[in-house]
Amino acid sequence: MSGKQTVTEHFDSYAPTWHLRIKQHPYAIRYRVVERMVAGLSPKTVVDVGSGTGEYCQLFDPQTYIGYDISPEMVKHSSRLYPTHKFEVGDAEQIPQPDASADLTLDIAVIEYYDDPLPHMRELVRITKPEGTVIVAVPNGDNRSKKPLNGLARLIDRLLVRPYKPYKKDILHNAHTLKDMRALGESVGLKMVDYGYCSLRVLMHDRPNTALSEVWSDRHSLDWLSSKTATILVCQYVKTV
């Protein structure tokens, strides 16, 4: 279990270089999956919960967007990197937003740090308008490629000399399957309407534009293969309550 204090200290220490990760393959593909999901929406209010260094704000007008993060250092760096957008310190379980105020609520890679994602999910539902959209990204629990390929991925990481620190091993990082995420959504009044997979970390490291990555990731025609190999799952829901 990782408490909020541990999570905050963990991300405070990662904040100065977190923005560089968006260039790494799975994170870049995740950004594109979210970009595809929001393309048809015209949200007047977007709340980005656990906004990190704020990269997702680039998809939205500054007037519509607010990012909250529990880490003061993340908020400091996001405000420096994207000065036209608004970022504040805030806890995902007590978001300082009125009920039913967001057309679109993002929660990209946050629930995995907690044993019980329910209070957090309920809070996302509370702040979202009826019929509004909620997008949640998590580590993909159906991935079967992770163990055998981890050693290879680590070797590639070392050869490429990444400009940021590798992740600490003692922090909780719960994966969730598509089935789990569908059921978790239903339990709080969210209907899953779409999902996307972000493919193998070990492939095309730091080169998100390669053709293979594009074909492999986020294509429902390759669902079986993607579900077993993707490192990240992105779920799009509509609020039904």
**Is residue 38 a contact residue for ligand SAM (CB under 6 A)?**
no
Instruction: Give the DSSP H/E element, type plus range, for residue 33.
Output: helix 25-38
CB of 224 to ligand SAM, least distance (A): 26
DSSP E strands in 4-98: the ranges are 46-49, 65-69, 86-89
CB of 22 to ligand SAM, least distance (A): 7
**Is residue 91 a contact residue for ligand SAM (CB under 6 A)?**
yes
CA distances from 96 to 9, 71, 115, 235, 237 (A): 21, 15, 23, 24, 22
**Is residue 71 a contact residue for ligand SAM (CB under 6 A)?**
yes
**Is residue 108 a contact residue for ligand SAM (CB under 6 A)?**
yes
Helix ranges (H only) for 103-145 are 118-127
**Is residue 69 a contact residue for ligand SAM (CB under 6 A)?**
yes
Residue nearest to ligand SAM (CB): 52
Select 92 or 188, whichever has its Cβ closest to ligand SAM. Answer: 92
Report the sign of the C-alpha dihedral through residues 148, 152, 153, 158, in that order.
positive
CB of 174 to ligand SAM, least distance (A): 12
**Is residue 145 a contact residue for ligand SAM (CB under 6 A)?**
no
CA distance 45 to 152: 42
Contact between 37 and 194 under an 8 Å Cβ cutoff? The reply is yes
Of 66, 92, 104, 202, the residue at the interface with ligand SAM (CB under 6 A) is 92
Question: Which residues contact ligand SAM by CB under 6 A?
Answer: 4, 7, 11, 49-52, 55, 68-71, 74, 91-93, 108-110, 113
